[in-house]
Structure 1
Amino acid sequence: MITFTSVFVILFFIFVLQGIWLFIAELAGKDLDFFTILKFLSFYAPTIVPLVLPLSVLLASIMTFGSFAENYEFAAMKSSGISLQRAMKMLTITIGILAFVSFFFANNVIPDAQYKFINLRKTIVQQKPAMAIAEGQFNTIGTSNIKVDKKSGDNGEFLEGVTMHVKNSNMGLGANTIIKAKRGVLTSEDDSNYLQLELYDGYYYEDIHPKDYEERKRLPFAKSSFEKYVINIDLTKLNQAEIDDGNITSEKMLTVPELKVTLDSLQRNYNKDAISYSKNLVARNDNIFKKHSTTNTSSSKKNNENLISLFTTEEQKQIIEIAKSNVISTEFGISANKSDLENKSKNINNHWLAIHEKFVIAYSCLLMFFIGAPLGAIIRKGGLGLPIVFAVLIFITFHFINTFGRKVAQQDEIPPFLGAWMASILMTPFAIILTYRATNDIGIMINFDWITDPFKKLFNKITQNKDDNN
């Protein structure tokens, strides 16, 4: 227990330092008091427990059982009739309790910490509006990128040399509006979820997206100047940073029951939208056909293999242009609907992943124990040398597979269950094999003769040739 506590504290401190480095841009130079910074880090700290806890169990298990084997304490136990299974029994029960506590922590403490973390950041921005914007660099706020040359005032609310890139997600890639102003002022109210940015003496360029496809190729835009321009910035989308390889999103703040309720609502909305999109597309095409179709009773007796020949040359050009425009419009509508459904599907997958990850945290503690304990008994090395090497390699492998599975599941390429449990599924046979070999005192026997034999033969042949020449 002492070994585990020491390892956990050391690793926890290391990851907290990594968190400070991650948020240094938000904390440094913001005139924040020590208590606020302490609260900031304390709300962030629970989010690193899912990383620190399994690694601590793995390293402590390897160190403890490696020390036992190195000092021949297992040999003394076996001579007294105590098997490895019996020696691991109480520790297994302890790790099982720890796994249960870790699930409770992931399901209750971490969501609450995430909620407080977001609200603290919003409060800091409300009290110090200019914290959202750093001098001399672009700062992402919602769908906008803001850059200022200089800030002044008690809270840095007076801005000089403001440049904004505003992107409209419905208009394709790139910045749709570029705003430049000589100066600006940031204001906010304590009970408001918005920052107000007032810009003075500036102008903006705005991309124009005409309906005609040929006109779009010319890349038209509009330019206008202003004396005063007011922009409201939503604080709920302010400076969304990455924590633990995942964005700070709503599913991170929910417990399992809340996630299930939310998932039910999201799935119903997804199914409803999918049906609505398909019906609207069919109805739209039917309306277009009815609108542009021409009834010609005299032509019903003719062979209508080539209907367009029934119209004049001018009418044929009009029909082709209408058909081309309708195809482009339909393609754009399908693409937009597909993108919307894909985003909603990813959101559903993220909520499923959030549910599974709470259970994965608990299972990973048991998994790392049944990897670390038998591995320590086999390598027979304690201390902080070889055990750290094995622990880091194993945990990096586990974390890499877990991250890979999560990313693939988010893209809807594999089920969320498989994505969340991929690392555990792949590492469980390894734990079973190690436990079996350790309990049966088999050890790890890896034959590298197939690699070394060719070099030995080559060396012997060279040596023999030299002896013959002499």
Structure 2
Amino acid sequence: MKIIDRYILTSFLKTFFPLFIIIMFILLLQTIWLFISELAGKDLDFSVIMKFLTFATPRLIPMVLPLTILLTSIMVFGNFSENYEFAAMKSSGISLQRAMRMLTGFMILVGLGAFWFSNTIIPESEKRFINLRKNIVKVKPAMVITPNQFNDLGDINIRVSDKHGDNDQFLTDVIIHKKSVRPGNYTVIKAVEGELQGSKDSDLITLVLKDGNYYEDIQENKPNSKKKLPFVKTHFKQYVLNIDLSEIGNVDMDAQQYSKGHNMLNVAELKEEIDTISSTYNLKRKSLHTEVDVIIGAEGLNKNIKIDTLQASNDTLNLEKYFTARQKVEISNNAISSVDVVLRKITSSKKSLTFKKRALNKYEMSLHDKYALGIACVLLFFVGAPLGAIIRKGGLGLPIVVGVVLFLVYHFIGIFAKNGAEEDGIPPFLGSWLATFVVFPLSIFLTYRATRDRGFFNFDFITVPIRNFFVKRFSKKKK
């Protein structure tokens, strides 16, 4: 390694690591702010909080690493230009490409390391992060109950519209589904309000419901009785439920129950999951097509008949004289019923297919994101280094502003593309790579301008003719 290469690499690393730590610290504080409701007021051990922060850190790398590379490149090469170090290099016969050669090799290694990190460390940390969050939620029952959604609490599923009080113990508009050995919801309890009562020394918590109704489906063994759908309904002024919290109190924070999320899998597992979801999705579409054909009677049609073999006739076929009024009503009712069944079938299947397609798009984008991260790190270096040489300004002022603006544009393009791909507006491949495709021509353009000592834009072809025109004009007036 030559002295100039060692000097450029050392200058880059001296800026890279402090900047990386600062940006990571800022985004980690933002993460704590987002999840503060899951950590505060639960008497968690310090080790659990440290695990939470440790598992949350790797998921920030896809944002921190590209931003750090972009800002470091602009600052370092801008500082070289501002201190006339590039001028000294050029006078010694060292071009910008030669100065960037060592860092280019280093960026390629960083890109490969980013792919390895996103393929091994991030899925494992994401898996542990999600499971730790799920386990933390189980520590306090009052914190488990989130308004306007069903929550699993002991042997019941509970939904409330709102909760209030010093410890969120007062509940309003309570709906409860009691669990049973048989699959299904057979017992439903609805109440206007409720209150959680309990003590720290007891594993039981009392839920007092006021002014509500108790519904229970009766399971009959006889087929004729089942068709009547019998049930029991009781109105109550006060109803008391005792909930066992012994399992909630003994929560294993290291338990791993969730492992199939699109962010929790590596490349091999993602490819396997994509094949599975894609096969299920195609099978459901084919099944829907077949069922609709059966309902409308398309399967019974003779599809071998050719239109050209039919004899043309000017006479219209009048079917009214072949059917009575009663038969016409029956035919119309049957047609309406068939259309209604088809529409219901398509509507219900559309929701399931949309959900499957959205999940498939997420898995495909997660696969491409692992490759796009390493490529983006290299391309952003070729954006930041030439840009720093062009603006000829180092330090924490203008380079930070320019770098942050460029990264926000890159990041927002990626967000909008992924949202569009998730809703099947654009292909998932394009959703992951669109921001990188935008950066690629920009990196070529800036490198080309910087290696030829030109500014970001050259407006001489516009300004020079205008200036010459006015110079000639005023010189003629003086004469």
Q: TM-score, normalised by structure 1?
A: 0.73
Q: Is the 8 A contact 1:103 1:361 kept in 2?
A: yes
1:160 aligns with 2:170: yes
2:52 counterpart of 1:46 = no
Q: Is contact 1:102-1:362 (8 Å) kept?
A: yes
Name the SS for the 1:414 alignment partner.
coil
| Letter of the structure 1 residue corresponding to residue 393 of structure 2 | K
2:42 to 16, 25, 30: 30
Residue deviations 1:124-179 (CA, integer Å, cap 9, x gap): 23332322236xx5467599853453478xxx7x9433434799xxxxxxxxx994
Deviation sequence 1:171-191 (CA, Å, 0-9, x none): xxxxxx99435436699xxxx
CA distance in 1, matches of 2:212, 2:242: 13
Q: What is the CA–CA distance in structure 2 between the aligned matches of 1:121 and 1:60, rounded to whole Å?
A: 34
Is the 1:95–1:366 contact (alpha carbons within 8 Å) kept by the matching residues of 2?
Answer: yes
Matches within 5 A, 1:18-97: 18-97=30-109
Change beyond 3 A, Cα 1:380–1:140: farther
Deviations 1:47-75 (A, max 9, x none): 11100110000000000000000000000
Deviation at 1:97, TM superposition (A): 1.1
Q: Does the Cα contact within 8 Å between 1:133 and 1:148 map onto a contact in 2? A: no
Alpha carbons of 1:144 and 1:387: their partners in 2 closer, same or farther (altered >3 Å)?
farther
**d(CA) in 2 for partners of 1:446, 1:186:** 74
Q: Is the 8 A contact 2:71 2:400 kept in 1?
A: yes
TM-superposed deviation, 1:381: 0.2
Question: What's the CA shift for 1:264?
Answer: 1.2
Matched-pair contact (CA < 8 Å) for 1:133–1:147: no
Q: State how far apart, in whole Å, the 2-side matches of 1:428 and 1:447 are.
A: 23
* Aligned match for 1:115, one of 127, 133, 136: 127
- Alignment CA distance shift 1:310-1:108 (3 Å): same
- Aligned partners of 2:206, 2:324: CA distance in 1, in Å? 58
Among 245, 261, 277, the residue aligned to 1:266: 277
String of CA shifts for 1:212-254, please: whole Å, max 9, x gaps.
xxxxxxxxxx99646468999xx9xxxxxxxxxxxx9711100
> Which one has the largest radius of gyration?
2
Aligned residues: 391
Deviates more, 1:27-36 or 1:49-58: 27-36
Q: Which residue of 2 aligns with 1:324?
A: 336
Task: Decide whether the 8 Å contact of 1:408 with 1:419 is kept in 2.
Answer: yes
Secondary structure, aligned partner of 1:367: helix
In the other structure, the counterpart of 2:160 is 146
Number of the residue aligned with 1:344? 356
Which residue number in structure 2 is paired with residue 275 of structure 1? 286
Determine the structure 1 residue equivalent to 2:411: 399
C-alpha change, 1:281 and 1:198, in structure 2 (3 Å) is farther
Give the secondary-structure state (helix, strand or coil) at the position aligned to 1:250.
coil
Contact in 2 for aligned 1:159/1:184 (Cα 8 Å): yes
Distance 1:31 1:112, change over 3 A: same
Counterpart of 1:254, as a letter, is L
Change (3 A) 1:67 1:21: same
1:342-381 correspondence to structure 2 within 5 Å: 342-381=354-393
| Identity percentage of aligned residues | 41
Match of 2:137 in 1: 125
Alignment of 1:181-196 (within 5 A): 181-183=192-194
Give 3-state SS (helix, strand or coil) of 1:344's partner. helix
Give the TM-score of the pair, scaled to structure 2. 0.72
The answer (yes or no) to whether the contact 2:196–2:206 under 8 Å persists in 1 is: yes
Of the candidates 264, 282, 286, which is equivalent to residue 253 of structure 1? Answer: 264
Q: 1:321 is aligned with what amino acid? A: N
Indicate conservation of the 8 Å contact 2:38/2:133, yes or no.
no
TM-fit CA distance, 1:89:
0.9
Answer yes or no: is the 8 Å Cα contact 1:163–1:178 preserved in 2: no
Task: Quote the offset at 1:413 in angstroms.
Answer: 2.1
CA distance in 1, matches of 2:197, 2:419: 37
- Report matched runs for 1:184-263 at 5 Å: 200-203=209-212, 225=235, 227=239, 250-263=261-274
Confirm or deny: 8 A CA contact 1:203 1:223 kept in the other structure: no
Q: Compared with structure 1, are the counterparts of its residues 316 and 165 closer, same or farther at alpha carbon in structure 2 (3 Å cutoff)?
A: farther
Partners of 2:390 and 2:455 within 8 A in 1: yes
Q: Secondary structure at the match of 1:161?
A: strand
Instruction: Measure the CA separation in 1 of the matches of 2:243 and 2:297.
Output: 42
- SS at 2:76's partner residue? helix
Deviation at 1:450, TM superposition (A): 7.4
SS at match of 2:171: strand
Determine the C-alpha separation between the residues in 1 that align with 2:90 and 2:410: 32
Q: Does residue 3 in structure 1 map to residue 15 in structure 2?
A: yes
CA distance in 2, matches of 1:224, 1:73: 86
Provide closer, same or farther for how the CA distance between residues 257 and 198 of structure 1 changes in structure 2, counting only shifts above 3 A: farther
Helix, strand or coil at the partner of 2:377: helix
**Deviation of 1:418 (Å):** 1.3
Compare 109-118 and 376-385 and name the one that shifted more: 109-118
Distance in 2 of aligned mates of 1:69 and 1:368? 19
Q: Which residue of 1 aligns with 2:113?
A: 101
Measure the CA separation in 1 of the matches of 2:213 and 2:382.
Answer: 62
Distance in 1 (CA, whole Å) between partners of 2:461 and 2:189 is: 66
